[in-house]
Amino acid sequence: MKASSSMQLRAGLLSTLILLTFLALWHAGTAPRATVAAAPAAQLTPEQIEYAKLMGKDPATLAAGEPKKSDGFPTPMQMGKAIATNLADPFYDNGPNDKGIGIQLAHSLARVGLGFFIAAAVAIPLGFVIGMSPLLYKALDPFIQVLKPISPLAWMPLALYTIKDSSISGIFVIFICSVWPMLINTAFGVAGVRRDWLNVAKTLEVSPLRKAFQVILPAAAPTILTGMRISMGIAWLVIVAAEMLVGGTGVGYFVWNEWNNLALTNVIFAVLVIGVVGMLLDALFAQAQKAVTYVD
C-alpha cells in the first residue's frame, strides 16, 4: 500500500514537472517582440485597419508599435484569459452561432450518449449470440472486419443522404463507429468463458437464460467493459469530426465556428475541453471495468 502511494506521488510530481516544462517552453516560444518600426495610424491602409479589427486589435495601438509575436500563436497568459472568459458564463445563448461551451458540450454529450447506448443495445446481445455459436462467429467475422475500419467521414455522406437530418445523421455515425469494438469484445469474452464453468452449469441443468446471466455474463464482463471503453473513446472522437461537417451545435461546431472567427485561443480552449471530457469518460469506464474484474 505504501509502495503504491509512493508511486502515485512520484508520478504526480513528474506530471507536474512535465506540465511546467511545457508551459515554460510555450511562454518562451510565444514571447512578444517589439516591431522594428511602427507606422503612423494615418499610414495604415483600410484593409490593414479592417484586419486589425477582425483580429480583435485596436488599430491605433497597433500603429503605435504594439509588441507582436513572431508567429501569432497565443501566449499562456492569453490562453488563461480565454479559459477564464469561457468558463465565467459557459451557458450563455446569443443566437445560433454564439453559444457558450457548456451548451455546446451538452449537445455533444447527448448525441454521444444516445448513439453509444443504441450501439450497446445492439452489440452486447448480438455479441452474446455470436460468442456462443462458433458457426456464427466464423460466418460473420469477414463482414465485421470489412465494416469496422470504415472512417466516420465516409459514413456521414451516406447518412445525410438517407436520413436527411444532420442531428440524427451524427447519432447514426456514432452508432455505426462504436458498435464494432463492443460487438467484437463481447463475442470474444463470451467465447472465452472457461469450459469448466459451462460444464458445471450443464451438469446442474441450469436454464440457458440463467446460464447467460449468472455464468457467462460475470465471466465476460471485464472484456465487455473493455469493448465499451474503447467504443466510448471512438464515439467521442467521431462526434467532433461529425459536428464539424453538419454544423449547428456541439463542441465540433464550436471549434469550426471559432476558427472561422479567427479566435485561435477559443479553438485551443475547445481542444482542451475535448481532451479533458474524453479523459473523464475513459476514467469512468476504467472504474466500471475495475469493479467487475475478478482478482485472485
Report the length, in residues, of the chain: 296
191 and 276 part of one domain = yes
Domain boundary among 47, 70, 93: 70
pLDDT tens column, 173-221: 999 999 999 999 999 988 888 777 777 777 777 777 777 777 888 888 8
Axis-axis angle for helices 101-132, 166-191 (nearest 10): 40
170 and 279 part of one domain = yes
21 and 64 part of one domain = no
Give the residue numbers spanning the domain of 11.
1-30
Q: Of 268, 92, 285, which Cα lies nearest the Cα of 182?
A: 285
Total of domains in the chain: 3
Task: Say if 82 falls within a structural domain.
Answer: no
Task: Say if 229 falls within a structural domain.
Answer: yes
134 and 208 part of one domain = yes
42 and 24 part of one domain = no
170 and 194 part of one domain = yes
Task: Say if 210 falls within a structural domain.
Answer: yes
43 and 117 part of one domain = no
Task: Say if 43 falls within a structural domain.
Answer: yes
Single-letter residue type at 162: T
197 and 285 part of one domain = yes
179 and 248 part of one domain = yes
Q: Of 115, 91, 109, 56, which Cα lies nearest the Cα of 252?
A: 109
Q: Which three cell numbers stand for residue 60?
A: 491605433
Task: Say if 76 falls within a structural domain.
Answer: no
17 and 46 part of one domain = no
4 and 131 part of one domain = no
Q: Of 272, 289, 276, which Cα lies nearest the Cα of 231?
A: 289
pLDDT tens series, the chain, 296 aa: 566 677 788 888 888 899 888 888 887 877 766 544 444 544 667 766 776 666 656 666 555 544 444 446 788 888 888 889 888 888 888 877 788 889 999 999 999 999 999 999 999 999 988 988 888 888 988 998 898 888 888 888 888 888 888 888 888 999 999 999 999 999 998 888 877 777 777 777 777 777 777 788 888 888 999 999 999 999 998 888 888 877 778 898 888 888 888 788 889 999 999 999 999 999 999 998 888 876 65
- 49 dihedral zone (left: phi>0; alpha: psi -120 to 50; beta): alpha
107 and 231 part of one domain = yes
Task: Say if 192 falls within a structural domain.
Answer: yes
Q: How far apart are CA 31 and CA 71, in angstroms?
A: 10
Task: Say if 92 falls within a structural domain.
Answer: no
Residue tagged 510530481 (cell numbers):
13
- CATH code: domain of residue 201: 1.10.3720.10
Task: Say if 77 falls within a structural domain.
Answer: no
